[in-house]
Amino acid sequence: MGIAASLLVTIIALCRRIVGQAEDITQALDGAREQTNVLFDLPSTNAAVGSIATDLRTVREGMEKG
């Protein structure tokens, strides 16, 4: 019975350690996600810059003609 109790205590201690490590990993991943969220806005930003550049080119060409 003593061996089983010792194994159970060891297993519980390891489980607690794993839970702590999992919480640390989760926090690190959440932080990484927050830091990289802005990258998901890049396609719309690039599209807006492209549209502005096209409009400016049109205006510049219009000014050169007139």
pLDDT given at position 1: 78
Question: How do residues 3-27 score in pLDDT, each as one tens digit?
Answer: 999 999 999 999 999 999 999 999 9
Predicted TM-score of the model (pTM): 0.56
Q: Where are the alpha helices (DSSP H) in the chain?
A: 2-36, 42-65
Q: Which of 26-30, 47-51, 60-64 has the lowest mean pLDDT?
A: 60-64
